[in-house]
Copies of this chain bind each other. A is one copy, B any other.
C-alpha cells in the first residue's frame, strides 16, 4: 500500500501518532522536499522516526514515480509530505499512477498552511482562493496572482499568499552544461512578496490593493517560534527582521471582516494606531 503521510508544519513531533506508526513499519520512507520544508533537518527526522529517509526531489516524483511505487502492491511505502498530503498537485499525480498499477492508497492528513493560517486570527470562512507568489526575474514576472486577488477582493475575502521556495535548483549555466550542481536554497520573505505585489499594482493600476492595504506576515506557522506581524503592505516590505527566518506566508485582508478579527490581529500590528485608523476607514463594516 502507498501511504501519503502528512508531516504537519514545523518539526519532527508534528507527525500524527497514526502517521508515525506507518513510517516506522513501512518498507521504504520517502520525503517530498521541494514544495515545502519542515523547520528541522532530515537527520532529526531520521533519528526521531528511527528510519532512514530517501529524499524525493521534483525530478524523482515527476519522472520516476514508478521507483517510489515499486512493490507497493505487496508492501507498505510511506511518502511523507510537509503539511497535508493534498496541498500540491504533484501528489494527485502519484495517486493516479498508483491506481493505474492497482496499488491501494491511504492518506494520513495533517495540518496545512491553508488551515494553520487561522492562528493569525482571521476567520477561515472569510478566505477566498489561495494564490502563489514566485520570485520575479528580470524577464519573468508572472502576475496571475493579481487577477485572483482581485476576484477575492471584489467579494471582500482574505487571500492567503504562499511564497516561493527554491530548493535544489540549478543555475542556467550548470543546467546547460548538465552539471548536477545546485544553488543554495532560497525562501521568499514577506518583504519580497509585499514589494512584488506593490510593483505589480503599480504596473496594472487596477486598484486591487495598495501600499495602505492591510495584511499579515506570518513566519513559521505552527512552530514554537511562530510569529505574526500585521500592518500595511508598505509596512510589511520592511518587516522581515521582525518576522525572522523561513518559512513565510502573507495574508492580504479582504473587507468582509468580523470585529473579533480586528481585536485578535491588532495584537500583531507594527503600528497599532495606523492599524486602527485604516481598519476603521476601509474595513470595518464594509462587507
Contacts and interface: CB of A to CB of B under 8 A. Distances in A.
A13 B84 CA distance: 16
Nearest to A131: B125
Interface stretch (A197-205, A234-242, A256-264, A276-284): A256-264
B13 A14 contact: no
A263 B89 CA distance: 13
Interface in A71-98: 83-87, 89, 92-93, 95-96
A222 B263 CA distance: 33
Contacts of A21: 13
Contacts of A267: 99
B13 A115 contact: no
A20 B84 CA distance: 19
Interface size class of chain A, counting residues whose CB lies under 8 Å from the partner chain: 35 or more
Interface stretch (A31-39, A105-113, A166-174, A188-196): A105-113
A17 B15 contact: yes
Contacts of A108: 222
A121 interface: yes
21 contacts: A8-B109, A13-B17, A14-B16, A14-B17, A14-B18, A15-B17, A84-B116, A84-B118, A89-B123, A92-B264, A96-B260, A96-B264, A107-B119, A107-B222, A109-B115, A114-B124, A115-B115, A125-B130, A125-B131, A128-B128, A129-B155
A65 interface: no
A121 B92 CA distance: 7
A6 interface: yes
A126 interface: yes
Nearest to A130: B125
Nearest to A20: B17
Interface of A: 6, 8-9, 11-18, 20-21, 83-87, 89, 92-93, 95-96, 99, 107-112, 114-116, 118-119, 121, 123-132, 151, 155, 157, 221-222, 226, 258, 260-261, 263-264, 267
- Most chain B CB within a 10 A radius of its CB, from A85, A110, A126: A110
A84 B107 contact: no
A96 B263 contact: yes
B107 A110 contact: no
B119 A86 contact: yes
Nearest to A158: B129
A87 B122 CA distance: 10
Given A114-B115, A115-B84, A109 B222 contact: yes
- Most chain B CB within a 10 A radius of its CB, from A14, A125, A226: A125
A228 to B, nearest CB: 12
